[in-house]
Amino acid sequence: MLLDFAGTLGIGATVALLLVGVASTALTRLEHRLALAGIAGAWVALVAAIVAKGGLSLIAVLVGLFVLPFLTVVILSASLPAFRSAILRIPVPLIIGLNTSRVLGVMFLFLVVAGRLGGPFPFSAGIGDIITGLFALQVARLAASKSANHPRVLLWNAFGALDLIVAVSLAVTSQPGSPLQLIHAGVGSAAITTAPWAMIPAFLVPFYLIGHGIVFVQARKQALSASHGVEPAPRLATVVSTA
């Protein structure tokens, strides 16, 4: 189907863009970048295999694929200072700017028109992502020229994170046949358990939520630095002026 083909191209390009953004800033050694590419490739292959077997129709599997990236990042950040330093090297303006690709949330609305999504989920996820994506570059420039602690940056970041949390909640509670289904609206979120759309909850949503978390952490660090009269790290204000 043409819509699935367009979704494959859009999601694939977005995944590549996010990985390049992280690898080029957080990782300084070639072997680490290659390792990241290998892990990402293995994760995509795992998700594809599970989707092919219909595994995402099981809510426990879907939630597990969504939660695992967070647990991995939290555990590694807590136990490995080098890993924590690496993810905090990613410039805040870059993290924000990468959210521009969320304008592809319009695909959710196309899936509604095609009769493959129903209920409040696609409208919440689609419209919320479009708004987040449309303002991403403007907010990224603001973070570059001002700071991650600027009220408009924090407002955008909170909205973007809340959009994802609400979308996930609606997707889970409107999945047909799920024991957690509370919203009965035709096909509900069924399309999200099929390729290529399964990569959204299994890869893109965790990635973006982790990014929002990093922005909040950096904003707090900058606020504490300002309260102690310390200048924020220059790297946080140098990207996107070149974007």
Domain spans of the chain, in order of start: 2-237
Q: How far apart are CA 241 and CA 243, in angstroms?
A: 6
Furthest CA-CA distance within the chain = 58
Q: How far apart are CA 172 and CA 167, in angstroms?
A: 9
- pTM reported for the whole predicted model: 0.89
Predicted local distance difference test score (pLDDT) of residue 230? 53
Q: How far apart are CA 104 and CA 1, in angstroms?
A: 18
Q: What is the pLDDT along the chain (243 residues), one digit of tens a residue?
A: 799 999 999 999 999 999 999 999 998 888 989 998 899 889 988 988 888 888 777 878 888 888 898 889 889 998 999 999 999 999 999 999 999 999 999 999 999 999 999 999 999 999 999 999 999 999 999 999 988 899 999 999 999 999 999 999 999 999 988 888 899 988 999 999 898 999 999 999 999 999 999 999 999 988 888 777 655 444 444 434 433
Alpha carbons within 13 A on the beta-carbon side of 240: 25
Residues near 27 by beta carbon (within 8 Å), at least 6 away in sequence: 33, 36, 86
